[in-house]
């Protein structure tokens, strides 16, 4: 298809009118426009704002702009919870409606009820999320000799930010909320370089050191006190397809990592049948597509460097 030729003498306002007319011609196009079917889903920044408010509750005075004054913490949290509950319920209800119209039931009538249940589930889980994050913070502080204080971990470590967002998104994902959890996880991905699918199950005491390039797939299950370094991938080995050639969804595709495992930088572990046994240590740049028993040490064979005299 040849591009339109823009007349050289066309006035700027005429050009803008013509371009706007063509761009808006497919206003109800579900692929690129969020205005069809009367749904008006929340834009990404609206979800980011709610996520920031949730992080401000979990880390008062750390992830916002202003410090929380002594004696005001309860009122501070109550005020934010009210705003979060109302806004998030509205956004999740629209996401459920989108799912009904474009994917599944067309008009089940349960979207408002499902949204209320998902938001209530998240609010009920916030105290437990906070306790789990405290274990994550301790793991980071004790596991990184460079950490000078717990507050340094809380306010500056990308691994903690990524896992905090994940623990919020995972609750909503488990409650069946569509779209919103993935927007949250991709926000953390863009901010930290750490890509954790909201479907992944991750135990307490989780620490990602440095973090950039870590990928954790949807069906991964990670136990307690697991430590990953940068560039680790817990991914899928292959994508089984149905009779029409489309990837089959909803099956186990990613590895399990049991308690007290350390996985060093650049390691790639693939496959839904792959389990890294408890207490194991996986070396840097290792490629694994099969399980290893508990208390294993897995390293690549050390290459021999070739050293020659530099020519003058």
**Confidence grade of residue 17 (pLDDT, cut at 50, 70, 90):** confident
Could you report the per-residue pLDDT of 172-228, keeping only the tens digit for each? 999 999 999 999 999 999 999 999 999 999 999 999 999 999 999 999 999 999 999
H helices of 109-232, in order, are 111-143, 150-156, 158-174, 180-192
Report the top-level CATH class of 213-301.
mainly beta
Could you report the per-residue pLDDT of 125-160, keeping only the tens digit for each? 999 999 999 999 999 999 999 999 999 999 999 999
Domain boundaries, the chain: 41-193, 213-301
E strand spans, the chain: 195-196, 201-202, 207-209, 215-216, 221-222, 227-229, 233-235, 256-257, 262-263, 268-270, 275-276, 281-282, 287-288, 297-298
| pLDDT (0 to 100) of residue 27 | 58
Question: Closest Cα to residue 118, out of 19, 74, 184, 163?
Answer: 184
Q: How far apart are CA 16 and CA 28, in angstroms?
A: 21
| pLDDT (0 to 100) of residue 223 | 98
| Residue showing tokens 């007319």 | 21
Could you report the per-residue pLDDT of 55-90, keeping only the tens digit for each? 999 999 887 777 787 788 899 999 999 999 999 999
What single-letter DSSP state applies at residue 26? Answer: G
Question: Closest Cα to residue 258, out of 281, 242, 278?
Answer: 278
Is 255 within 8 Å of 269 (Cβ atoms)?
Answer: yes
SS (H, E, C) 119-141: HHHHHHHHHHHHHHHHHHHHHHH
Taking the mean position of all CA atoms in its chain, how far away is CA 229? Answer: 17
Is 258 within 8 Å of 275 (Cβ atoms)?
Answer: yes
**Confidence grade of residue 43 (pLDDT, cut at 50, 70, 90):** confident
| pLDDT (0 to 100) of residue 240 | 75
Domains 41-193 and 213-301 share a fold: no
| pLDDT (0 to 100) of residue 3 | 55
- Residue 5 predicted with pLDDT over 70: no
- Joined tokens for residue 278: 């408890």
pTM (two decimals): 0.88
For the segment(s) 41-193, the CATH number from 3.30.70.2660, 1.10.3130.10, 1.10.10.10, 3.40.50.2300 is 1.10.3130.10
């Amino acid at each position: 298809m040849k591009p339109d030729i823009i007349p050289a003498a066309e006035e700027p306002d005429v050009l803008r009118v013509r371009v706007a007319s063509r761009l808006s011609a497919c206003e109800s196009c579900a692929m690129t426009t969020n205005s069809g079917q009367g749904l008006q889903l929340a834009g990404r920044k609206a979800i980011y704002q709610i996520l920031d408010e949730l992080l401000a509750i979990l880390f008062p005075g750390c992830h916002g702009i202003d410090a929380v004054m002594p004696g005001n913490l309860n009122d501070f949290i109550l005020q934010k919870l009210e705003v979060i509950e109302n806004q998030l319920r509205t956004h999740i209800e629209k996401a459920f409606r989108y799912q009904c119209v474009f994917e599944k039931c067309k008009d089940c009538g349960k979207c408002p009820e499902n949204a209320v249940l998902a938001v209530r589930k998240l609010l009920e889980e916030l105290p437990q999320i906070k306790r789990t994050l405290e274990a994550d913070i301790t793991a980071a502080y004790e596991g990184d000799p460079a950490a000078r204080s717990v507050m340094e971990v809380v306010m500056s470590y990308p691994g903690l930010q990524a896992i905090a967002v994940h623990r919020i998104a995972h609750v909503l994902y488990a409650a069946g909320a569509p779209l919103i959890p993935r927007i949250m996880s991709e926000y953390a991905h863009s901010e930290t370089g750490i890509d954790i699918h909201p479907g992944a199950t991750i135990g307490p005491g989780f620490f990602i050191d440095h973090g950039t390039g870590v990928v954790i797939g949807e069906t991964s299950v990670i136990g307690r006190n697991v430590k990953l370094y940068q560039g680790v991938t817990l991914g899928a080995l292959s994508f089984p397809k149905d009779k029409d050639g489309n990837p089959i969804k909803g099956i186990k595709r990613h590895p399990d990592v049991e308690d007290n495992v350390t996985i060093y930088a650049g390691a790639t572990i693939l496959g839904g049948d792959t389990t890294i046994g408890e207490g194991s240590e996986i070396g840097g740049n290792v490629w694994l597509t099969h399980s290893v028993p508990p208390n294993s040490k897995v390293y690549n064979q050390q290459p021999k460097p070739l050293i020659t005299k530099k020519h003058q």
